Structure 1
Amino acid sequence: MNYIVTHTDTDGVAAAALYTYLTRESSSIVFAEPYNLKKVLYKVYRKRPRSVVVLDLSPNTDTMDFIVGVVQLLREKGGSVAWFDHHLWEAEWLEQLGKAGVELYVDRTTCATGVVAKHVKPSTTVDQRFVEELVKGVCGADLWSFDHPMSPFFMRLVRRGDEDSWRLCVYSTLSRGVTWTGEFEERVVERFDEEVVELSKPMHVEVLEVNGVRVAVVEKSEKVENSILAARAMGMAKADVAVVIDKSGKISLRSRGVNVRDLAVALGGGGHAQAAGAKIDVPLSIRIASALRSKALVEYVVRVLIEHADYVKKL
């Protein structure tokens, strides 16, 4: 059996769909986040797959050794592993996985869907216009360039809080070479409306100086994408960095002219220089306190940021 392990956002879903469209291979789709990638890969290994393709996910300092071990086990059982990503990787990660037998394609000039389009050879005749439009639309959303008219729609098509059933619906449609449907349209229009309502509400932003950089901290909204929320928080606070947090400890880092990836790596995550993320441990006492007093979680994250101030540096 073939497995595709991919990220939970639009780029991850689209990359998986494009891989299937180009190869015509039947695969089981498994969704993952960077923080749980090692567990997901181990579960896949136990199913004795013939091949594993990893998309739009990078290892991090805390998971690298475990992932290399799982890859070695997969290879020993005769399985193949290919990895397509566009995040910033440490040189030693590339070396370790390369030595373990992984077929690596890491390209920071595009999104994961673009990496697949560049490096996967079609098994049969394909609609090149579909491929090009999908890559441009998805990359414009994922890289925040919005240089394609469909990018604002793709950004809202899949959210990380969505059910896997919706991700699979989007995957199934795109993998057939269909870019857009009425069902997609309805979902996105509904989300636009929800965003307008949510962004019209007052928003509490905690502001602090970290290593000479102005940082805005805000709690996650279920109705607004983290990148949009971060942009609003930075605008309101005239900040260089925005930190979007949720109760599970997941944090999204966005910036203008500041390297936030080093901070993310220090916290066990990774990503891009100006868009990264991590998951931190939130003590039970803080979780309880945040249920009683909403600012408790924000205050805890502020303390964590201050402790890691040396990792926040301007580009």
Structure 2
Amino acid sequence: MAYEKAIELLEAARRLHTVSHVDLDGLVSAALLLRWARRRGIEAKHDVAGARGLYRMLRRALQEAAGRPGTVVVVADLSPRSRADAEAVAGLLRWGQRLVWIDHHEWPEGAREALEKAGAIVVHDRSRVTAEIACAVARCTGEDRTLVEIARADDSCSEDHLGLADKWRLVLRHLDWEGLRRAAGALAEGSLWPDWAREIYEQEAPSYYQEIREKTSVNGYEFNGIRVVVVTPPPRASGCDVQRLGLVPGPSEADVAVILYPRGISIRTWGQLRADCIASRLGGGGHSHVAGAPRPSTTMGPAQIARMVANAAEGCRAGQ
């Protein structure tokens, strides 16, 4: 039903304002919506936001929409950090603005209900990446599906048939906010690998991958019978790239692998342990076997992080 409502609302739109996440799934989702708007001949705008800046960006977008009748604001590939955050966004919908929220991450309890009560349409589908949801609500054509494949490959740390997910992942890490919007615009126009992106990749890739290989440390621990391996790569490295280079131990060596960043942690699990459950107990979220959470303190070392994750993992087995 949520899909049908979102499609109906978009079909009636006279203007589209998309706010997307900064990763490839978010930017592809925005690109698909921009393509849809272009096919319909309506004005479209795109902004990017991280989890911490989402409320500020949404407030601006919804205030702008209040003065532009017919505007539909779409949030793509971002989840509210808490029910309180969702209620704060709901409080912005007081002049009849139209908000569609599409996402596939774990959501805090009560967040969806708070938004829907205020009139937002929430398409929350954990079985798909957000680009697939965007593809459904924007009535994708055949040529759009290559974009969806690239987004899915990036989200799952796998490969697409063009080999572009890995390349775009590196390029996006070297772009500012304007560059990220430029990337979505290029994808929307059908330029899957523009020259400027290729130049960034060719310039940065050799040193980037070499740095990951040379500077990544791996430490193993066991707490409460749970084996935790903490992988500490260089600060700018992507967890998918660290994993692809074979630096993240698998299920034979660990129950939980943690990739430690300066401001966050990426959690990977196998078998019965649920990464999204562990992450939610640490203030984050994600998927059943790949999730993320804030790093409580930069002074916490690998052993302390491992103990914290092992404690959070208690009760996070499938079915519990």
TM interval, short-chain normalised: 0.7 to 0.9
Once the two structures are superposed, residues 135-157 of structure 1 have per-residue CA deviations (whole angstroms, 9 ceiling, x without a partner) of: 11221222234243333334334
Q: Taking structure 1 as reference, are residues 193 and 102 closer, same or farther at Cα in structure 2, changes over 3 Å only? A: same
Matching of residue 301 in structure 1 with residue 319 in structure 2: no
Does structure 2 conserve the Cα–Cα contact (< 8 Å) formed by 1:211 and 1:313?
Answer: no
1:253-264 correspondence runs (5 A): 253-257=267-271, 258-264=273-279
SS in 1 for 2:248: helix
Q: TM-score, normalised by structure 1?
A: 0.80
Instruction: Please tell me the root mean square deviation across aligned C-alpha atoms, in Å.
Output: 2.8
Q: Taking structure 1 as reference, are residues 183 and 68 closer, same or farther at Cα in structure 2, changes over 3 Å only? A: same
Q: Which amino acid aligns with 1:87?
A: H
Q: CA deviation at 1:220?
A: 4.0
Q: Taking structure 1 as reference, are residues 278 and 36 closer, same or farther at Cα in structure 2, changes over 3 Å only? A: farther
Q: C-alpha distance in 2, partners of 1:278/1:202? A: 23
Q: Taking structure 1 as reference, are residues 83 and 240 closer, same or farther at Cα in structure 2, changes over 3 Å only? A: same
Q: CA deviation at 1:119?
A: 1.2
Q: C-alpha distance in 2, partners of 1:108/1:145? A: 18
Matching of residue 16 in structure 1 with residue 20 in structure 2: no
Matching of residue 41 in structure 1 with residue 54 in structure 2: no
Q: C-alpha distance in 1, partners of 2:79/2:223? A: 27
Does structure 2 conserve the Cα–Cα contact (< 8 Å) formed by 1:41 and 1:67?
Answer: no
Does structure 1 conserve the Cα–Cα contact (< 8 Å) formed by 2:86 and 2:112?
Answer: no
Q: CA deviation at 1:116?
A: 0.5
Q: C-alpha distance in 2, partners of 1:312/1:230? A: 23
Does structure 2 conserve the Cα–Cα contact (< 8 Å) formed by 1:215 and 1:241?
Answer: yes
Matching of residue 243 in structure 1 with residue 258 in structure 2: yes
Q: Taking structure 1 as reference, are residues 129 and 241 closer, same or farther at Cα in structure 2, changes over 3 Å only? A: same
Does structure 2 conserve the Cα–Cα contact (< 8 Å) formed by 1:2 and 1:52?
Answer: yes
Q: CA deviation at 1:264?
A: 0.9
SS in 1 for 2:217: coil
Q: TM-score, normalised by structure 2?
A: 0.79
Match of 2:92 among 73, 88, 91: 73
Q: C-alpha distance in 1, partners of 2:283/2:55? A: 13
Q: Which amino acid aligns with 2:284?
A: G
Q: Which amino acid aligns with 1:57?
A: L
Matching of residue 32 in structure 1 with residue 49 in structure 2: yes
Corresponding position of 1:169: 182
Does structure 2 conserve the Cα–Cα contact (< 8 Å) formed by 1:210 and 1:312?
Answer: no
Corresponding position of 2:78: 57
Corresponding position of 1:5: 19
Once the two structures are superposed, residues 284-313 of structure 1 have per-residue CA deviations (whole angstroms, 9 ceiling, x without a partner) of: xxx4xx5xxxxx533442343244242553
Match of 1:180 among 193, 197, 200: 193
Q: Taking structure 1 as reference, are residues 222 and 191 closer, same or farther at Cα in structure 2, changes over 3 Å only? A: farther
Q: C-alpha distance in 1, partners of 2:65/2:136? A: 29
Does structure 1 conserve the Cα–Cα contact (< 8 Å) formed by 2:104 and 2:124?
Answer: yes
Q: CA deviation at 1:183?
A: 2.0
1:181-260 correspondence runs (5 A): 181-230=194-243, 232-235=246-249, 238-248=253-263, 250-257=264-271, 258-260=273-275
1:115-126 correspondence runs (5 A): 115-121=133-139
Q: CA deviation at 1:207?
A: 1.4
Q: Which amino acid aligns with 1:101?
A: G
Q: Which amino acid aligns with 1:166?
A: G
Q: How many residues in Structure 1 have an aligned counterpart in Structure 2?
A: 294
Does structure 2 conserve the Cα–Cα contact (< 8 Å) formed by 1:35 and 1:278?
Answer: no
Long gaps (5+) in structure 1: 123-127, 291-295
Q: CA deviation at 1:42?
A: 3.8
Q: Taking structure 1 as reference, are residues 280 and 152 closer, same or farther at Cα in structure 2, changes over 3 Å only? A: closer
Matching of residue 265 in structure 1 with residue 269 in structure 2: no
Q: C-alpha distance in 1, partners of 2:198/2:20? A: 24
Q: Taking structure 1 as reference, are residues 264 and 229 closer, same or farther at Cα in structure 2, changes over 3 Å only? A: same
Q: C-alpha distance in 2, partners of 1:144/1:306? A: 24
Q: C-alpha distance in 1, partners of 2:285/2:91? A: 23
